[in-house]
Amino acid sequence: MDYNSFRRTMLGGTAEQTAPKWVLCVLCEIAQGRRDVTAMRHPLGFVCIPVERTGGEGVCVHVWSDSLPRARPTTSVIHSHSWDLISYVLYGNVRNELIDVTDAPDDPTYRVFEVRSRGDVDELRETPRLVRCQVTAAELNRQGDTYSLRAGGFHATTVHGEAATVVLGAGRPATMDLSLGGIDTKTHRVGRQRCNRDETASAARVVTERLASIRAYDEEDR
């Protein structure tokens, strides 16, 4: 399966029949070292395992697990990205809060930062824009759910416990990656935390073991 195949299954409501089996197969190859893949500890608290990248489109697996080392954001978890996202929940619970951001130069709670990436370095560049924010909607996505987030929309994602998702991203070149940070925080650079070969394999095994147990339970239930 590739980006377009996944997109069709997700939008067509058939991802439950195809996505877990495909992810199990691909991540088994990664866990066994048969694919040259390098995972990354994302500052939003998950491990990102890239599976496919073609131009501005890509497929990744995001893994939240207490057994894996995590990176931490230097700004906040509230952000908007420059790509449209469609995600399928393989297991666990993923909560997304949609956030309205309004200019508030006289009484701000956050400053807007532009996130400019080059290689393995992200520059978080302070802007003069001072804002306040308010949660306008929240949704809890469980195993088997598909959800989408549009490019340019501010949101925050929260996961408690173990979870994994298949994520499709389609870049929008005219849109900037943004993050909300402290009012007095200055422009700074952050190096991306790449996993080594063993760490990448460990992240893949976390997902394959969970998917295998779910599959075995489903077969017993039948």
Per-residue pLDDT of the chain (222 residues; tens, 9 = 90+): 778 888 899 989 899 999 999 999 999 999 999 999 999 999 999 999 999 988 889 999 999 999 999 999 999 999 999 999 999 999 999 999 999 999 999 999 999 999 999 988 999 999 999 999 999 999 999 999 999 999 999 999 999 999 999 999 999 988 999 999 999 999 999 999 999 999 999 999 999 999 999 876 565 555
- Give the structural domain span for 109: 39-195
How far apart CA 164 and CA 181 sit, in angstroms, is 26
Evaluate whether 144 touches 89 at the Cβ level (below 8 Å).
Answer: yes
Q: Is 22 exposed, middle or buried (0-12, 13-18, 19+ CB in 10 A)?
A: middle
pLDDT at 162: 96
Q: What is the pLDDT of residue 222?
A: 55
Q: What is the pLDDT of residue 154?
A: 98
Q: Does 150 fall in a domain?
A: yes
Q: Quick check: is 31 in a domain?
A: no
65 burial via Cβ count (<10 Å: 0-12, 13-18, 19+): buried
pLDDT value of residue 214 = 87
Nearest to 68 by CA among 219, 199, 217: 199
Asked if residue 118 is part of any domain, the answer here is yes
Residue 19 inside a domain? The answer is no
Report how many domains make up the chain: 1
Is 33 a member of any domain?
no
Global pTM exceeds 0.75: yes
Task: Check which CATH number belongs to the domain holding 117 and give it.
Answer: 2.60.120.10
Decide: 61 and 46 in contact? Cβ < 8 Å. Answer: no
Domain membership of residue 1 (yes or no) is no
Query: Does the residue 13 lie in any domain?
Result: no
> How far is CA 86 from each of CA 10, 20, 77, 119, 172, rounded to the nearest angstrom?
8, 15, 19, 25, 14
Within a domain: residue 2? Answer: no
